[in-house]
Structure 1
């Protein structure tokens, strides 16, 4: 319940304490199109902010070095979700990830609101979904027309 006369909080970032900072930066740049919008170093601690182009003031990933790999059991589906422009884009990402050894879930089609998706694992063990046809992001128009 939101307290009366209080604005609703808005999510602005997710902070990831990662094992392989530079490899994670490369992963999110290549697969998600995210860019570094801030970077600082304090002794051995490196902190990097990454965002989708144009969303630097809206939502970012904060990545910090010194973390540990995140081993997840096979039935743990926690993940970051990214919407793409088409089913073909999901397939292209999956093919690339398979060749690079980071494909976690083959492309699959599921009933509303899940859509068509595949899953990858980043260099620190975080799971990342790429989807088309969910009621968020590209492909959402088809669902909005049905409601």
Structure 2
């Protein structure tokens, strides 16, 4: 079972929904999720906020944070994951889980960060975390790696919920 299929199965089984906010992955993550049959029972949608300003205006990421630290920062990933849940609320009900990606795919550095520096954000309930990845390879390899790692982290969280770990 692929990472996306496992995530969808776990989300559906637990009656949870997910909303995705992406930057460097440009929609690849939500596309991977909705490529799974039955995904509509769990995936509310995705926002591609590739431009830094959209992270503030669409997702509500703190503009001062973006101006001070740039878009490749753990707090940006946390805010993206947290806020996309409400941005993509359906019928006034926010998503249970928010998942976000922000980083540098390359080939050039951005905001003082080298290609391969990525932050994944995951928000569930009041817990909002960010994970730093340091990936290597070309632009496509980095973007694909971020999708794989994002799904792996989502599945870890869902498995921990099941086992109570």
Whose strand proportion is higher, 1 or 2? 1
If the length of structure 1 is used for normalisation, what is the TM-score? 0.30
Larger radius of gyration: 1
If the length of structure 2 is used for normalisation, what is the TM-score? 0.28
Higher relative contact order structure (alpha carbons within 8 Å, sequence separation ≥ 6): 2
